[in-house]
């Protein structure tokens, strides 16, 4: 007859193996690597699970909870919540245009030291995108044209007229997917 303590150890090991097996099944259901593309897919089955990515000093560097994403928060209260500063694409230019590309840009810094610059429109703006155009030099003028006929995506300014900035300043714009609309001067 086998030793009772050996039987207890065998039963304990079998229990541990069963738990490890269950944990491995849970892990493979939560994490999938697509062999064809190499994509890493989390929660492919759409189970009721949160996804959390930790960093050295923040356990919630990225947190996904159903339809909400949090950066540096484990309890996002809106669709996308960031607890910290946000930086987005910006560009510096000294060239005016009727089609400044804003594909990856939310801030345009205009340098007018070489002469007046005229901005008649933007291009590649998407619905809901916001862009600020700011004159960052005191010399010469920055002119933002209202409803410029040749513009790719026209700019519509409050007051229905062009705006000239002789000193520092600029405009905040928002895109409806087709055109840009001023929300305020800076």
Q: What stretches of the chain adopt beta strand conformation (E)?
A: 31-33, 40-42, 51-53, 62-65, 68-71, 80-82, 90-93, 100-101, 107-110, 117-119, 121-123, 130-135, 142-144, 153-156, 163-165, 169-175, 180-185
Percent of the chain with pLDDT over 70: 91
DSSP label of 97: B
Q: Has residue 118 got a pLDDT over 60?
A: yes
The dihedrals phi and psi of 30, each to the nearest 5 degrees, come to -90, -30
Helix (H, G, I), strand (E, B) or coil at 14: helix
- Decide if 151 contacts 145 (C-beta within 8 A): yes
Q: Has residue 24 got a pLDDT over 70?
A: no
The answer for 128, left when phi > 0, alpha when psi is -120 to 50, beta otherwise, is left
Domain ranges of the chain: 1-44, 50-85, 90-185
The chain-wide mean pLDDT, for the chain, equals 86
The two three-digit tokens of residue 21, written as one number: 């097996």
Residue 123 is predicted with a pLDDT of 95
pLDDT one-digit tens code per residue, 87-114: 788 888 888 899 999 998 999 999 999 9
Based on its alpha-carbon atoms, the radius of gyration of the chain, rounded to whole angstroms, reads 28
Q: Has residue 146 got a pLDDT over 60?
A: yes
Q: Which of the four pLDDT bands, split at 50, 70 and 90, describes residue 145?
A: very high
DSSP label of 111: -
Q: Please enumerate in sequence order all residues whose Cβ is within 8 A of that of 55, keeping only pairs 6 or more positions apart, or say none.
A: 61
Chain mean position to CA 115: 34
pLDDT one-digit tens code per residue, 28-64: 566 777 778 887 777 777 777 778 888 888 888 888 8
**Residue from 92, 138, 100, 130 nearest 118 by CA:** 100
Residue 68: C-alpha distances to residues 40, 103, 106, 140, 171 (Å): 20, 25, 23, 46, 31
**Residue from 22, 70, 64, 72 nearest 47 by CA:** 64
pTM as predicted: 0.66
| Measured distance CA(119)–CA(136) in Å, rounded | 15
């Amino acid at each position: 007859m086998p030793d009772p303590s050996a039987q207890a150890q065998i039963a304990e090991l079998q229990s541990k193996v069963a738990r490890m097996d269950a944990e491995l099944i849970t892990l493979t259901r939560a994490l999938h690597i697509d062999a064809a593309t190499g994509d890493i897919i989390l929660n492919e089955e759409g189970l009721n699970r949160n996804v959390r990515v930790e960093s050295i000093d923040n356990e919630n560097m990225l947190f996904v909870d159903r339809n909400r994403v949090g950066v540096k928060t484990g309890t996002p209260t809106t669709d996308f919540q960031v607890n910290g500063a946000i930086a987005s694409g910006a560009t510096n230019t000294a060239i005016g245009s009727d089609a400044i590309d804003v594909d990856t840009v939310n801030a345009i810094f205009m340098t007018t030291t070489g002469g007046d610059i005229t901005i008649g429109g933007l291009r590649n703006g998407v619905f809901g995108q916001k862009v600020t155009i700011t004159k960052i030099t005191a010399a010469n003028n920055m002119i933002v044209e209202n409803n410029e006929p040749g513009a790719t995506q026209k700019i519509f300014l409050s007051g229905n007229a062009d705006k000239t900035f002789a000193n520092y300043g600029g405009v905040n714009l928002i895109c409806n997917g087709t055109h840009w609309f001023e929300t305020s001067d800076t």
